[in-house]
Amino acid sequence: MAKKEKEKKVREPFNAKREAKLIPGYILLIIWVAFTVCALLWIVAASFSTSPEIMKGQTLKFASGLHPENYAAAWSSNNIKVFFMNSAIYAVLGTFFTILISAPCSYVLARFTFLGNKVLSSSFIVAMSIPQIMIVLPLFGLATKAHLTGTKIILILLYIGMQVPFTTTFLMTFFANLSRTYEEAAAIDGCSPMKTFWKIMMPLAQPGIVTVGIFNFMNIWNEYFISLIFGATEKNMSVGPGLKSVLTSMQYTGNWGGLFAAVIIVFLPTFIIYVVLSEKIIAGVTGGGIKG
């Protein structure tokens, strides 16, 4: 053990110049983290305050006490409950069907060689680079002809289509790095390629599937532009444009405590998911789905 420690010290000597160069980066990181934490704490405090306290800059003093009723008011009024449930539907269904489509597709592209394989793989990367604003008008025209505008179905379909290129490209890396001995052993046992995928390869790629599923959920939950265009009515809006409409209404009601409570309600799901599953996200991104 002592020899190993000595070797480690020899291999990784302290470099004062190198560490000194990193100090500005550490300082910027600390400032950014401190600013973010302070901003979040202020928003949380404002959500338990009254409008006069917020306007007077007395948010952190709680002179009139805590006001948890802001959350009840935010949930029941201004359609926050509707926006929240809409986003939950879009995020859950969009993530589920995206993985259901992308996982088999990425497996085939990563594990089998056939004519057009490289073209298809490249097309997903190209699709990721197309700005949404370029395809909104054609998509809106198609949705109008199909009589899907003003419905939740069109938003779910669009979210699936938006996430499939990224999800497929992401999962291809995991399936490409899995050992072929699993498929060979399954073939010897008489498993068909489809059964091998669902019973063996899909579970082995679970770290990548969980990671990309979390990313998809967060992307759909926080999406603004598509929901604003296609979820034109409040009954179909997600939390992004929904909060914008709440902010507009607050100009007349002046219930700023309720507004910040609504922000916290919308922010909590993605925050909880990231905190609870952060280790899996990091492991999935850095691990690359490599199985021995």
Q: Which of 31, 46, 70 is the last residue of a domain?
A: 70
Specify if 219 maps to a domain: yes
> Do the domain assignments include residue 31?
yes
CB of 74 within 8 A of CB of 257? no
User: CB burial class (10 A; 0-12, 13-18, 19+) of residue 255?
Assistant: buried
Please state, in angstroms and rounded to a whole number, the distance separating the CA atoms of residues 35 and 252. 30
- How confident is the model at residue 11, as a pLDDT? 56
pLDDT at 292 over 60: no
How many Cα neighbours within 13 Å face the side chain of 21? 3
Range of the domain at 189: 77-287
**CA–CA distances in Å: residue 280 to residues 31, 133, 136, 274, 286:** 27, 33, 34, 9, 10
Tens of pLDDT, residue by residue over 162-176, are: 999 999 999 998 888
For residue 97, is it within any domain? yes
Same-domain status, 136 and 36: no
Claim to verify: residue 219 and residue 258 sit in the same structural domain: yes
pLDDT, position 12: 58
Distance from C-alpha of 105 to C-alpha of 110, rounded to nearest angstrom? 9
pTM for the predicted model, two decimal places: 0.81
Is 175 within the bounds of a domain? yes
Across residues 215-242, what is the average pLDDT?
Answer: 88
State how many domains the chain has. Answer: 2
